[in-house]
Structure 1
C-alpha cells in the first residue's frame, strides 16, 4: 500500500511539474511586452495610450479564447490544446521581434492572446482528472506559485537581454525559451494524456443519475448554474484588483508619498514573491482546514485594511514595503482555497467548459481595470486606487460566500 501511494505521489509530482511549467510560461508572456514600452516608444514614436492598447487587445482576445477553448478541451482533450497554446506564445514573441510598426505589434498581441486563453481550461482539467484528491491543494499551490514566478521573471529577463543586446533579441530569446518549454512538454507528453471518453462517460453517468426523464444532455446547460457566474464574478473582481495594483501602484505611491517609481516597482516584485510563498502556505491550510470561504475572507479582510491604510497617506514610508508583502501573502494564501471552491462548484465532467467560462473573467477584469484606475490618476485622485482595490476585495469576500452557499447542481 505504501509503495502504491509513493508511486502515485511521484506521478502527481511529475504531472503538476509539467502543467506548472506551462502555466508559468503563460504568466511570463503577460509581462514580456510592458517592460519593452520605453524601447518601442523610442523606436517607433508610439505614445503610451497606443502601447497600453496592445495589452487591452491581448487580454480581450484571451478572454474570448478562454471562454471558447474550454469546449474544445472537453471535445478533443487538453493535451493538443496545451501544445497549441504554447506554440502560439512562441509565435507571438517571434512576431514581436520582427515588428516593423504598430500593425505587427497588434498582430503579436492577438496571437499571444489566443495562446494565453487556453491555459486555465487545460491546466485545471488536467489537474482535476490526473492528480489524486489528497494532493489537489498542493497541486493548486505549485500551479499558482509558478504563475507568480513567471510574472516576476519576465521584466528582469526582457530588460536584461535588451540592455545587453536590443529589444528584438529580447523577444527572440522569449520565443526560444517558449519553444524549449514546448519541447519539454512534448517529451513528457505521455503524462499529459487526457481521457476525453472517460470524462464524457462521467458526464453522462451524472446526467442519467439526476435526470430520470431521460431528456437529452445539454452542452451549454452548465451555464444555467448560478455558481458558475458567481465564480466568473469572483475572478473578475480578483483580477481587476490585482491588475490595478500592478499597473498603477508605483505611480500612486509617488503621488501620495513622494516615493520613487523604481521603489514602487520593487514593492510589486516583493508582493509577487509574497504571493508565491503564500500559495505554498495556502495549499497546506486548504488541505487541513477545508473551509475555503473562511480562508478567503480572512486573507482579503487583511488586504482591505492594508489598502485603506495606504490610501490615508499616513503610513510611514518604511512600513509601506511590509504592507505590499502582506498583500502578496494574502493573495497567495487565498488562491488554493479559491481553486478548491471553484472545483466544488463545477458540475461533474464539465471542467473544461466551466473553467473556460469562469476564468475568462480574469482577462476581462485585467482589460478593464487599468482603464478605470487610470482615470483616477489622470484626474489627480491617486488615493482612489487603493480605495477602489479595497472595495473590489470586499466584493470578492461577498461572492466567495455566495459561491460556497450555492451548492445547487442542475442537469447538464
Structure 2
C-alpha cells in the first residue's frame, strides 16, 4: 500500500538534505581513512618485522581483493535489505581491524588487519550512493556527490597525519591503531544517534519521484545489468584510475626518498598534499559538472593534466622539493574529475539496480588497487623509483580512454533505443 508523501517546506528539505550529505560524507571519509590504515606506517613495519616493499604491497592487495569481492556482493545486499544496517556493520569491522593492527606481531597479524579493514570498506559505495540518491533532492545531488568525493580525499589526507603523528608522539606505532579504533567508534555512535537521517527506507529514487515508468520489468533477471557495456567500461575506468592512485598512496613517499634522499618526515606528507589538492579539485568539479554536459570531456581534460604532472615528477628534472610539490599538485586534476565520474556512473545505472551497479563498478577501484600495489612495490624493490610516477601517468591515460568509451557506448544505446 502506497502512502502519500507530503512535501517538506524548502528550508526543512534543505536541512534534511544537508544532514544526510554531512553524515554520509563523514562516513565515507572514515572509509578512506581506513584505506590508509597500514601504508603510512610501512617504515615501522620494515624496521620491526623486516618486511620488503613487495610484502607490504601484498597487504594492500589483501585489503582491496576482499573489498572488491565484498563490494560487488554488498550491492545486492544493500538492494535487498537496505543500506543503513550494512553501514553499521562496516564500522564494526573497522574497529576490529584497528585492534588487530595494534596487536600484530608480524606479517600474519597485519594481514588480518588488512582483511578486516577491506571487509569493512566493501559496502561503502553501494551504501553511500543508495542513501544519497534516495534521500537527497535532485538539485543538490551533484553537490552531494562532490562532498562525498571531497570527504574521501580528506580521509586519505588525514590518515598519514593522524597515524604518523600519534605514533611519533606516543613513541609506539601501536598506539596509533588504538586511536583509529576510537575514531571509528565515535563516528559509529554518531551515525546510530542520527540514524533517521540515513534511513534509505524513507526515501525514493529520482525516477520514482518523477513518476517515470522506467522501473525494470518484474521478471527481469537481477544480473541483467551486467549485459550493459557501460557498466564494464565504468569498471575499466575505475581500474586504471585507481591503479594510478595506488602508486601515489602507497609508494610515492619511498620513491621520492630513493630519488632525492628526502627525509621520511617530509615525503610522508606528499600523500596528504595530493589528497588535499584532490579535495580542492572536487569543490571546483562539483560546480563544473553542473554546468557541463560532456562528462567524458571533463574527465579527459582533468586527468590528462594530472598525468602530465606525474610524468614531470618521474623525469627527475626538478629538484626534490619541487618534485614532491608537483606530485601533490597532480591530485587536483583527479579531484576535478571526481564529480563527473560519479555522474557518469549514475547515468549508467538502470533504475532499481543502483546498488548492484555501484557495487560492481566500484569494485574496479578495489581490483585496481589490489593488482597495482605489488607491481609498484616490486618496482621499488628493483630500484626503479621513477617508474612509480611514470606508471601512474600511463594508468591515468588508460582511464581517460575508458571514460571516452563509456560516453560512446551510452550514445549508441540512446541512438538505438
TM-based fold match above 0.5: yes
| 1:108 is aligned to 2:116 | no
Instruction: Verify the 8 A CA contact 1:65 1:118 in the aligned structure 2.
Output: yes
Superimposed CA distance per residue, residues 203-230 of structure 1 (whole angstroms, 9 cap, x where no aligned partner): 995356xx6xxx8211000011100000
Structure 1 match to 2:354: 351
Structure 2 match to 1:338: 341
Q: How does 1:304-383 map to 2 (within 5 A)?
A: 304-317=307-320, 319-383=322-386
| 1:9 is aligned to 2:14 | yes
In structure 2, C-alpha distance between the alignment counterparts of 1:47 and 1:391, rounded to whole Å: 25
Structure 2 match to 1:169: 175
In structure 1, C-alpha distance between the alignment counterparts of 2:264 and 2:54, rounded to whole Å: 19
Structure 1 32/138 Cα, relative in aligned 2: closer, same or farther at 3 Å?
same
Structure 1 310/111 Cα, relative in aligned 2: closer, same or farther at 3 Å?
closer
In structure 1, C-alpha distance between the alignment counterparts of 2:326 and 2:190, rounded to whole Å: 38
Q: What SS does the corresponding residue of 2:369 show, helix, strand or coil?
A: helix
| 1:142 is aligned to 2:150 | no
Structure 1 match to 2:77: 72
Q: What SS does the corresponding residue of 1:181 show, helix, strand or coil?
A: helix
Structure 1 match to 2:214: 206
Superimposed CA distance per residue, residues 226-275 of structure 1 (whole angstroms, 9 cap, x where no aligned partner): 00000000000010011112222233334445544544333332211111
Structure 1 313/45 Cα, relative in aligned 2: closer, same or farther at 3 Å?
closer
Structure 2 match to 1:280: 283
Q: How does 1:112-191 map to 2 (within 5 A)?
A: 112-165=117-170, 166-191=172-197
Structure 1 51/320 Cα, relative in aligned 2: closer, same or farther at 3 Å?
closer
In structure 2, C-alpha distance between the alignment counterparts of 1:101 and 1:389, rounded to whole Å: 30
Unaligned runs of 5+ in 1: none
Superposition RMSD on alpha carbons, in Å?
2.7
Structure 1 match to 2:66: 61
Size of the aligned set, in residue pairs, is 403
Instruction: Verify the 8 A CA contact 2:53 2:378 in the aligned structure 1.
Output: no
Unaligned runs of 5+ in 2: 1-6
Structure 1 228/49 Cα, relative in aligned 2: closer, same or farther at 3 Å?
same
Q: CA deviation at 1:150?
A: 1.0
In structure 2, C-alpha distance between the alignment counterparts of 1:133 and 1:225, rounded to whole Å: 25
| 1:234 is aligned to 2:237 | yes
Under a length normalisation based on structure 2, what TM-score does the superposition of the two structures give?
Answer: 0.89
Instruction: Verify the 8 A CA contact 1:91 1:175 in the aligned structure 2.
Output: yes
